[in-house]
Structures are given as structure tokens and as C-alpha cells.
Structure 1
Amino acid sequence: MTFQEAILKSASCNTRHLLLGNGFSIACIPTIFTYNSLFAEADFSDNPEIELAFKKLSTTDFELVINALEKSSVLLPAYSEKLDELCGKMSLDADKIKELLIDTIANRHPEYPSQIEQEKYSYCRKFLSNFVFKGSKGRVYTLNYDLLLYWTLMHEIDNEGFKLVHNDGFGRDTIVENGEIEVANELTWQGKASNQNIHYIHGALHLFDVGFQLEKFSWVNTGTTLIQQARMALRLNKFPLFVTEGDSEKKMSKITHNAYLFNSYESFDGVAQAGFGKPGNTCLFTYGVSFSENDRHIFNKVANGKIKKLFVGIYGDPSSTNNQHIISLAESLKSSRSIHPLEIDYYDSQTANVWG
């Protein structure tokens, strides 16, 4: 069916939720958003020993390898005084990985919001208005860590005819000092809140872990681009929060060890469960989601949940190999339900005109 037909059919539901996958970004700028992971895109040709370090630690997590190298460079001299040169190289390699991480991001992401046409923002905001509008309890979840969703939500347009209501959970802390109330400069995650309706389940490039809190970088407040802010943050050992692992189990390990990520994951679980007891009258739309095995931790929640309806976006010929794979995996969610039936419909994602 068309996206418009799917929306009409979902009108019987009290609430619509949305799950975005990499196809959301590819539809905007196909030439730069076709990567599967930052690790797969990184160029290790000048530093083969760094690539080997990732393999030895069985990870694609940049932060984990950087931390391992930095800690080893400090720890090894305690065991031998002859390792100064090796420790120095480990420390330098940790810095090289930081630059490699930023260079990879820079090569695969627009630097300014203005590099995306105004018309594209208008279409995307109209698409999102089906899920996060005034009076709605809908939520948007994204598996992507690029900035397109964030930029679109922040791109206010005059005379739209609708009101997008969005809350990503970040705000400014207030501090009382000598009887005076001061507002912090940083945007930080305010913790679990029922009104948060935008969730980056796998993190995002503008979210940075500073150890004791999670900060959100904003171009509007600083006039400094993401790439410049990221470079400055990495020099201070602040890392962008995103899940770069290549399989579902490792992704879950990262998610469960971070309060923000785990809260978003629990929120999605709540949507999949559709309330307690009997199934709630809610539905979930997917757009640009490939139903890949490395996101099994996401779809297991739907399989084990009680949400009534699932609308799956299909791009192109439904009989193609890729689409048949998506349909097969989606149907497996349906067949796994034994008590609470799951209704699945498929819609042509091109008819959603997400970016025009």
C-alpha cells in the first residue's frame, strides 16, 4: 500500500510510533550515507598495527581501543623500564585513532545544516508530523547516529500548518549559589522522563560522554561545527556516544552499560509492550529499516511484545532479494507471537516522500 493508505489504516490506533533505519539517511543524501559502520569506512592503510589492535580486542568500538592503548601506555612502565619507546607509540596511536575517527565522520557527514536544502527539511518535517504532533503520545526512535533527524527537528519553518512536539531529554541544569539561580552553559541529559519522545537508541554524533554526565553539542549555541567541536572534545577525552559494534550482542553490551542508551532501549521496549495487561491500541511504523541480524536486539522486543500493528516500509520491488529478506524477518516476528497477535502491513516507502 502507499504510505498515505498506511496512515489512514493506522487511524484506528490511538498512537503511532516510528523507528528509523539507515534508509532514512540514504534517502536524503545517497552518496554519503551508505556506510554500515564507521569502522568499515575508516582507512587504516597507514596504521596497520592500529587495525590489528581492533582485531586483537575483538571490537569495532573506537573508544574501547583508545582507552586500552592509553591505559597500557601508563601501566607498562611499572613492569619494565625498557618499554618507554613502545609506550610512547601506544600513546601516539591513541591520538591517531581519535583523528581517524573524526576524519571518517567528516568524510561521511555534511558539516553544516544549511548543506541540506530547505525543501528537504519541509518534506521531512511533514513526514514526522504523523508521529510527533501536538497532543500525540507518539515517539520517534532512530538506529542512526548522524545528525539528520536532529537538524530536521530543530529546523523551524514558518506557516507549516502543524506543530512538531519533540523532546530529546536534554536541557540546562540550574545551579543555586549564594541565593542566585544560575543556568549551566552545557546541555545535559536530564535523566529518565516520560515526556522524552525522541530517542537515539544507538547514540548520535552530537552526544558526548564526559564521564559523569552526557552532554549534547549544539551548533546553534556555539557557531562551531560538529567536526570542530568533536576534535576539541576528543582532546579532552570526551567521546561521541554511538554504538559502532558489528553484532547484536556487542551492541546490547554497550547499550546496557550506558544510562542514556539503556533508557532509550527501555522506552522502545515499553512501546513494543503497548502497556501492561492486554495489548494497547498502538502501532509502529518502520522506515529505512533493513531488519538486519545485527539489530536483532531491537526486533526481539517487537516479537516478544504486545503492540498490535506493524507497518513496514519497503523500498523498490517487493520481490527483490533484499525486500524478500526483510519481509521474511518481519513475518518471523508475527509467527513468534503465541498470545497477542501481531498484524503486519507493508507500504511503499518511496510514497512517504520523506525528503521530497
Structure 2
Amino acid sequence: MPYVIQPWEAIAPNYRGTAILGNGASIAVSPSFSYGSLLEHARANELIAPDVERLFAFFGTTDFELILRIVWQASNVNQSLQIPDQRTHEAYLRVRDCLIQSVQDIHPEFDQVSGHLPAIYRFLKHFDTVASLNYDLIVYWALMHGYDHDEEHAIKDCFGAGGLFQDDWRRLRTPIRRQRSTTLVFYPHGSLVLCRNRVEQERKIHNADAGLLEAILTRWRSEEVVPLFVSEGTWQQKVSSIQNSYYLSTVYREVLGSERETLVIYGWGLGEQDLHLLQRMRGTGIRRVAVSVHGADQIYCNRVLPIVQGALGVVPVEFFDSQSAGCWNHQGA
């Protein structure tokens, strides 16, 4: 028998716990995100110099952020010890500029996506917790939209004054002032908005909505910070990168490991390289799962069901139409 694909609004009242957003969410806002990866884009557009390719091959990774950080740290060490090494610094600049160009090519400007933000905000505020696996700024821009337009609900990313992550993030679930409810947002694989400095301190970059993307790229050009996001790699490589970041490891251990009764998966293809995140939520009390489906794809449903139940245990799984009213960037009825 075919799987039943329900409209989102029919099942939404039963799912207020945690939502995980995958790349399909970003593609629904802008087709420019349909590139498989930043590295794929860079290679397809011949942005990568031969010595940069050798770095990816030597370290056995496709993670842009990791390669950039390794070469940046090596260049900083050489500079601090006054070791002449122009080649290392030039390699860092080539990796950095390649990454910047790839982000500029792929990521839309604020004005190009701002029309989607009210609907996205309404979708996000439905949940207690949102985990975005995407490096882009769409969720952050939606969060800021809520700051400007909604006094009764607060979506918080748990970064406070000075851009520092707040260790007592659970406390932020409590509404304050005029707020009646809250949603906490996390980035299990990091985000463009996050960075780390020479001594591994991790912070969020602040700027006005419309200028945030350029502010981020300007910070990268300053050579004072590198981005904090895990864009590619096998699950083993991703877990290793997560463990090397205070913020990412906190999200992995504490946030994903927290109790929840329901889970919504939107736009996430559940590839093997990311299943460590789903497996981390096993035993957290999940009683039902809802998974978005594009175009009533029965083959996708048939593939996803055993993956979800294999990772979480035998829990009921429902499917909903990713383009139905009230879902992500689609206006409600």
C-alpha cells in the first residue's frame, strides 16, 4: 500500500517538539543552494588552484572550513615566530578567497529572500527547538524578523552579549518580559554567522540584516577569524570536527541528547554522512516522527522509514507534503 502524504497543517498540532532542517529547506528558498557542496561549486567553476587541491587530498577531506583553519593556523604560527614562509600564507589566502567567492556565488542577498521570512518565522515558532543543518543565513534572518515583529514569542540562538554562546542555554526557554513562549535555535554543523579566532574562541558575528553577509566576508578577509561550520565530509570526519568545537560539541551532546517527544524532519535527505545526528537522539523519548516529502515521492518514503526507525527505534513515522500550506516558506491557509 502507498504511504499516506498528509498536509502539514493536519498534523502540526501533534508536533511541537524538535524540528531538523536540511538542505531542502534552503533550496526551497533559493535554487542556488542546489549545489551539492561549496567545494563542488568551486571545482565546477575552476576556482581552486592546484596547491589547494593538494591540501584537500593530503588531509583526506572535502571540508572547506577544516582546510582553511589548518592553513590559517600554520600561517599564524609562522608569523608569530617570524619564520619566513610566504608560500603558506599565500595558500591560506587562496583557500580563503576561494571559499569567499563560492559563498558569494551561491548565497542570495537578504533582499532576495526577505519575502520568505514571515512564513519561515511562523513555521519555526511552532517548535520548542529547531536544529538547522545548513550553513546559510536563512534561519538567522527569520529569527531577526521575529525580533522586529513579534513581542509575544522569542526565537533565540543562545548567543548573548559579545556574541558568546551561553552555557546555561536551558534557562533561555523561560519567557521574559512580554514573551509568552520561546523557540531555541541551534546549528549542529555550524553556520556562516559563527567564527573562531586565533585562540579558538567561538563567537557570533553581528550586523544589520541586510549587511550581515558582507560583514561576515569582511571578517574573514581580516585574517583575524575563520568560519565555524562543517559543510562536507564523511560522518566520521564530521563527528571529529564537531568534537573539535566547543559550541558544536555542546549542541551534539546536550541539545540533541535532551528529552523530546516529537521530531519533525524537513528537507533532510537522511544521508549516511549525517545519521550520527539522528542516532544521537535515540533514547530521548521520541514517540512520533514526521518527515517531509517532496512531490508525493513514494520511493523516498520507502527508503526513509527504515533509516529513521533504525536510528531511533521502532517509532511511528508520518509523512507530510513539503509544499503544503503553513509548511516552511509556504503561506498558511
TM-score by length of 2: 0.82
- In the alignment, the residues of structure 1 paired with residue 137 and residue 191 of structure 2 have an alpha-carbon distance, to the nearest angstrom, of 7
What is the letter of the counterpart of residue 22 of structure 1?
Answer: N
Match of 1:346 in 2: 319
Match of 2:7 in 1: 2
Task: Decide which of 154, 157, 169 is 2:158's aligned counterpart.
Answer: 169
Structure 2 CA distance for partners of 1:164 and 1:25, relative to 1, 3 Å: farther
- In the alignment, the residues of structure 2 paired with residue 331 and residue 237 of structure 1 have an alpha-carbon distance, to the nearest angstrom, of 44
- In the alignment, the residues of structure 2 paired with residue 250 and residue 142 of structure 1 have an alpha-carbon distance, to the nearest angstrom, of 19
- In the alignment, the residues of structure 2 paired with residue 244 and residue 354 of structure 1 have an alpha-carbon distance, to the nearest angstrom, of 22
Q: CA RMSD in A?
A: 2.8
Structure 2 CA distance for partners of 1:313 and 1:71, relative to 1, 3 Å: closer
1:124 aligns with 2:130: no
Say how many residue pairs are matched. 307
3-state SS of 2:257 partner: helix
Match of 1:106 in 2: 104
Match of 1:194 in 2: 170
- In the alignment, the residues of structure 2 paired with residue 54 and residue 227 of structure 1 have an alpha-carbon distance, to the nearest angstrom, of 26
CA contact (8 A) 2:235 2:272 kept: yes
CA contact (8 A) 1:315 1:348 kept: yes
CA contact (8 A) 1:207 1:214 kept: yes
3-state SS of 2:154 partner: coil
CA contact (8 A) 1:125 1:153 kept: yes
1:286 aligns with 2:265: yes
- In the alignment, the residues of structure 2 paired with residue 142 and residue 109 of structure 1 have an alpha-carbon distance, to the nearest angstrom, of 16
Question: What runs of 5+ residues in structure 1 fail to find an aligned partner?
Answer: 77-82, 132-137, 173-185, 275-281
Structure 2 CA distance for partners of 1:117 and 1:303, relative to 1, 3 Å: same
- What are the residue-to-residue correspondences of 1:1-356 with 2, within 5 Å? 1-8=6-13, 10=14, 15-30=16-31, 32-43=32-43, 44=46, 47-69=49-71, 87-111=85-109, 113-118=110-115, 120-131=116-127, 138-156=128-146, 163-172=152-161, 186-196=162-172, 197-210=184-197, 211-220=199-208, 224-271=211-258, 273-274=259-260, 282-320=261-299, 322-333=300-311, 337=313, 341-351=314-324, 352-356=326-330
Structure 2 CA distance for partners of 1:217 and 1:75, relative to 1, 3 Å: closer
Give the share of equivalent positions with the same residue, in percent.
Answer: 26
- In the alignment, the residues of structure 1 paired with residue 230 and residue 168 of structure 2 have an alpha-carbon distance, to the nearest angstrom, of 20
What is the letter of the counterpart of residue 2 of structure 1?
Answer: P
- In the alignment, the residues of structure 2 paired with residue 206 and residue 354 of structure 1 have an alpha-carbon distance, to the nearest angstrom, of 21
TM-score by length of 1: 0.77
1:39 positional shift: 1.9
- In the alignment, the residues of structure 2 paired with residue 145 and residue 345 of structure 1 have an alpha-carbon distance, to the nearest angstrom, of 27
Structure 2 CA distance for partners of 1:192 and 1:240, relative to 1, 3 Å: farther
Residues 244-264 of structure 1: CA deviation (Å, up to 9, x unaligned): 231111111111111111111
3-state SS of 1:209 partner: strand
3-state SS of 1:165 partner: strand
CA contact (8 A) 2:42 2:48 kept: no
1:75 positional shift: 8.3
- In the alignment, the residues of structure 2 paired with residue 313 and residue 68 of structure 1 have an alpha-carbon distance, to the nearest angstrom, of 37
What is the letter of the counterpart of residue 354 of structure 1?
Answer: W
Structure 2 CA distance for partners of 1:74 and 1:157, relative to 1, 3 Å: closer
- In the alignment, the residues of structure 2 paired with residue 66 and residue 122 of structure 1 have an alpha-carbon distance, to the nearest angstrom, of 35
Farther off after superposition, 102-111 or 341-350 = 341-350
Structure number with larger C-alpha Rg: 1
CA contact (8 A) 2:143 2:156 kept: no
3-state SS of 2:208 partner: helix
CA contact (8 A) 1:39 1:244 kept: no
3-state SS of 2:323 partner: helix
Residues 277-333 of structure 1: CA deviation (Å, up to 9, x unaligned): xxxxx211111111110001111123444311111111112323x443223322433
- In the alignment, the residues of structure 1 paired with residue 286 and residue 279 of structure 2 have an alpha-carbon distance, to the nearest angstrom, of 12
3-state SS of 2:265 partner: strand
- In the alignment, the residues of structure 1 paired with residue 92 and residue 223 of structure 2 have an alpha-carbon distance, to the nearest angstrom, of 13
Structure 2 CA distance for partners of 1:72 and 1:199, relative to 1, 3 Å: closer
3-state SS of 1:346 partner: strand
- In the alignment, the residues of structure 1 paired with residue 95 and residue 149 of structure 2 have an alpha-carbon distance, to the nearest angstrom, of 46
CA contact (8 A) 1:230 1:240 kept: no
